[in-house]
Chains A and B, each alone.
Chain A
């Protein structure tokens, strides 16, 4: 699914990620754990193609190097980033935003766009499954949403867009236990042999709910150790200190 080779990422001429190699196969869930400032969010922006993130090397996605594709082209190909801090857009109703987004992706694939009525029943079904209050949909996008609501909204968007590759950038930060369950249930429900996840987090806590296939320790812009799920437990006990030198 994703094969990252010798990836280096600079922001304003400062190199943040150096020589990163990572392969994620279809159906796999990888977790990246690391301390603050290790370049985890930079990785998520580089993968989704944010302007200002100068990347060198290769990001092969289903066999195609997507380094030169812009943000929306990558999104339309099924790369989804669940934001650490979802952005507020005043005046734009969540419902309308979601439908515009779903249709933009459909259109890029040459599929028929979905009308307002069809969309409403789809979104109703998805939000019920995720135990998300529909009321949220008739408010401006993320404006005045609590931290938990914003993250639920990200999960709802993910389930509507049905991406192939999902990057979750510290989705667990600021969530109470209930919201954490909603988020992780949403992710677990979407796990499939055709879909891969890259979960970026500080804490092992989320990984109790979403069990990853692989765990990587990220420090100073590169992966310093990889292992299975047990590595996360180790980190929880020992901290990151031993990886920082």
Chain B
């Protein structure tokens, strides 16, 4: 079946969200609520060293004095943190899978359904996958092959045990424990996520990828990812996310930290397709994520690419701290909101080093009753002489009931730097649709073609293997948005 056939079929079936199934497995859960006991339980489950537990408890203590931020555009009902579960793991993973053969067949099936087969032989060549199911990492493929060249790619839990010196040195060094409410919450209760270390001078030969899946009910997912690219190394990393359809909202509050040392480059891509809620806006994931990269060394580069199509509310600003001289930050974003979805997303580019450069390309698409906000900060500090920023924010409206907003903050504190900001807002016109349809495309195909054209600049940034997927996803996300 061709891509457009699939779209039509799905449209007819009314099954807009493809990943909404629930996997029926026994899980271990902690007693409900946020407490020292919960944190100790998590740390114990992960067999963490003592310093890690102390680190978590410190965050928990700080959290007691913090308040949830409330400045964002999309508002949400108060979250009762004592009603949430902070840990959920398939029972069969009590001691963690030793090899891929030990993985529960039910979970393997889940990932197969999602198109992420875990068996290495089935993998797309050149993509290593870390799969996170609720709170635990269930498999990391190609681990041995990567080990040969010194690349560490494992779950963060394993890293705290096997590579404590690296975790101690870098964890929380980009997003301080007390950064803000959700970052601190994550620091206290984070469950799993990926850890990547690329040694000096190594160009990681394959795409590294993590696949996140929320399965259990009433469970928050607090993933933590830490990527360190040592001097003159390169890595490209991709994360994908889905969750079952559930009527209640689920919280996903991740922290992702990237560190690029001198001459290193990190390319981080996200295809986020969490359950967006139903057509009336019931249910869906609250995707409140803190992602920050630190270009710590001179001549380093960090590039964020995100395709955000899911979640009831997306609230995140993948950012770059351009500390090293001549360092570069990039942010490419496509945020699609349909039905009652809301997004408040953008980036922060903090220019600290000399001759630093940043580029922001943001494409927001609103359809249905959705509301889409770009919020961004470009801050050029007094010592960041000779720096440059270019920002382009385009919004596309589909229909008459959606909204698009652009909130750019720009600070330039020296006279030798340049900051450019361009913004456009447009609407898919009836004439464009008529033209496409007169050439034989149906309404859905026409919208998909026009929207894909609109965000092409961003989709081109994705690794090849995922660009096609993302294009399809763009079409599917906008089903039923016109007429």
**A92, B453: Cβ atoms under 8 Å?**
yes
**A161, B432: Cβ atoms under 8 Å?**
no
In the complex, what residues of A have CB within 8 A of residue B441's CB?
Answer: 72, 100-101, 104
**B450, A161: Cβ atoms under 8 Å?**
no
**B430, A71: Cβ atoms under 8 Å?**
no
In the complex, what residues of A have CB within 8 A of residue B14's CB?
Answer: none
**B437, A70: Cβ atoms under 8 Å?**
yes
Complex Cα–Cα for A72 and B4 (A) = 15
**A97, B434: Cβ atoms under 8 Å?**
no
| Binary flags per residue of A89-125, CB closer than 8 Å to B gives 1, else 0 | 1111100110011001101100001000000000000
Q: Given A107-B4, A113-B2, check contact A81 B438 (CB 8 Å).
A: yes
**B445, A104: Cβ atoms under 8 Å?**
yes
B115 within 8 A of A: no
**A75, B430: Cβ atoms under 8 Å?**
no
**A104, B453: Cβ atoms under 8 Å?**
no
In the complex, what residues of A have CB within 8 A of residue B443's CB?
Answer: 72
Q: Which of B434, B450, B454 contacts A50 (CB 8 A)?
A: B434
In the complex, what residues of A have CB within 8 A of residue B5's CB?
Answer: 107
Q: How many residues of A contact B (CB 8 A)?
A: 31
**B454, A87: Cβ atoms under 8 Å?**
no
Taking CB atoms and an 8 Å cut-off, the chain B residues in 422-440 that contact chain A are 429-432, 434-440
Q: Which of B4, B438, B453, B455 contacts A71 (CB 8 A)?
A: B438
**B438, A51: Cβ atoms under 8 Å?**
no
**B4, A91: Cβ atoms under 8 Å?**
no
**B434, A89: Cβ atoms under 8 Å?**
no
**A140, B453: Cβ atoms under 8 Å?**
yes
By beta carbon, the residue of chain A nearest B483 is A51
B279 within 8 A of A: no
**A161, B440: Cβ atoms under 8 Å?**
yes
Complex Cα–Cα for A72 and B437 (A) = 5
Q: Which of A52, A90, A157 contacts B439 (CB 8 A)?
A: A157
Complex Cα–Cα for A66 and B4 (A) = 25
**A108, B440: Cβ atoms under 8 Å?**
yes
B442 within 8 A of A: yes
A57 within 8 A of B: no
Complex Cα–Cα for A92 and B2 (A) = 20
* Top 8 A-B pairs, shortest CB-CB distance: A91-B453, A92-B453, A101-B439, A104-B440, A87-B435, A71-B437, A105-B440, A75-B440
Using CB atoms and an 8 Å cutoff, list the residues of chain B in contact with chain A.
2, 4-5, 429-432, 434-443, 445, 449-450, 452-457
Using CB atoms and an 8 Å cutoff, list the residues of chain A in contact with chain B.
48, 50-52, 70-72, 75-76, 80-81, 83, 86-87, 89-93, 96-97, 100-101, 104-105, 107-108, 113, 140, 157, 161
A105-B439, A161-B440 are known; give 14 further A-B pairs, CB within 8 A. Answer: A48-B438, A71-B434, A71-B438, A72-B437, A72-B443, A87-B435, A91-B456, A92-B449, A92-B452, A96-B449, A101-B439, A101-B440, A101-B441, A104-B4
